[in-house]
Amino acid sequence: MHDRIRRTICRFFFLFLVLLPTLVVAGWSIYANSGPGVESRREGWEQRLEQLLGTRVTIGSVRPVFPGTMEFKQLELSLPGDDQPMVTIGQLQLTRGQLQRLQLEKVHVDADQLGHWVDWLEQTTRQLNDDLQLRLVIKQLVFDHGPYQDSFAEVVGVLDGSDDGSQAIINLWQESSQGDPLALQLIHQPEEKGRYRWILQTGSSPLPTRLLASQLSPLSRLGTQSLFDGQLTCVRGGQPGRVELVGLFQEVDLESLSGFPASGMLAGSGQLEVRRCRVLDGACQFLDVVLRSDGGSVDTGWLQATAQRWDAMLPQGAGARQAFTDLSCHLELDGNGIRIRGREEGPGRGALLRQADRVLLAQPRVEWLSVAQLVEVLVPASQERLPATRHTARLLRAIELPHLR
């Protein structure tokens, strides 16, 4: 073949196989990073992420970083019908495949918005099937509670669906913990329709109670510094809702705890051991707890009035408050009523409150108390009297109550 013909053929193949693809790629890159290209790609990914996450999504920018991996910046996620974003994400990476992988660098969550995350996770888990799995990685998760912050160094979650149902398994490592993570499991069975079962198991480090209190408001009575170590099961959706709890609360604020419904009865710090607790549709079915403290103070007037009502040993002392060195109260509640017992063994057996070897308040002489008898102890004296029945409770929810005088 003539040299000129060979050179012509070589130039053609060079142009077709090398130069032309390069020009096409360069042209596409210029278009993709130009105004129309970026806008088209951003809007398309907003729609895809909305389908994947089940939320409204607004994206600041998007670009490919690896084959099959996209990087998004300045995202806002919000639930349909909610104008306020439930979270703002600085950077997110999405890897496509059978396992959808979402990686977030740092996420701040307002504790007041935690309920939106719960709703989103339930909705996303329910929609999963065999064709879609989701792996979620958060490098740092921070919960904001006004002046307080609770941080997790890493969060890894897997949302998986099957014909038998769907579930989410999420592990959270606290920044101060070197051991087992906090484990959170969400289960949804097809036959249960809109019902979801949450199971939380603390790991090597106790969990700040204020995180739980954002969803279970009665726990806020334990104080802002309280810590929980144990297991919590919660069934949501449909009727009735159910909460079961077993574990230990440390650093309990006695003033905050005794501040419901009165105030100032006790002061100090203690721990609350929950041996058994079940709440059905907002009402406590049964409860078995032990409250302990190594020191604090108690209101003298309340102390003497309680001793008289319980026909217990009447404490002697002057002053508005009395110091105590030992508090031990075992409380049980079930269909029989309420049983309150003091120290279960050793010196001062039967004592609820002691100052050194002196008993300040002994356990009631009767084994079981009625709800009305317990209310008389906990609520300050008042001229108002109402029957303690379910009918009364339903009526009181609909009317305004008088202030105590």
Three-state SS at 212: helix
Q: Kindly tell me the sign of the dihedral angle through the C-alpha atoms of 9, 14, 19, 20.
A: positive
Residue 147, domain extent? 54-204
* Cis previous bond, 387, omega within 30: no
* Residue 90 placed within a domain: yes
Say how many CA atoms lie within 13 Å of 197 toward its Cβ.
11
* Residue 241 placed within a domain: no
* Residue 184 placed within a domain: yes
141-145/107-110 β-pairing: parallel
* Residue 121 placed within a domain: yes
* Residue 149 placed within a domain: yes
* Residue 358 placed within a domain: no
* Residue 180 placed within a domain: yes
Name every residue whose Cβ is closer than 8 Å to that of residue 230 and which is 6 or more positions away in sequence.
202, 245, 246, 247, 248, 274
Tens place of pLDDT per residue across the chain (405 aa): 556 655 555 554 444 454 444 444 444 444 444 444 555 678 888 888 887 777 888 898 888 877 778 888 888 888 777 777 777 788 888 776 555 778 888 888 888 888 888 888 888 887 776 666 788 899 999 998 888 899 999 999 998 877 777 889 999 998 776 778 999 999 887 767 778 899 999 988 899 999 999 889 899 999 999 999 999 999 988 777 899 999 999 999 999 988 755 567 899 999 999 999 999 888 888 999 999 999 999 988 888 888 887 766 666 666 788 899 999 999 999 888 899 999 988 778 889 999 998 888 889 888 888 777 777 777 655 556 666 666 666 665 565 555 544
Domain count, the chain: 1
* Residue 150 placed within a domain: yes
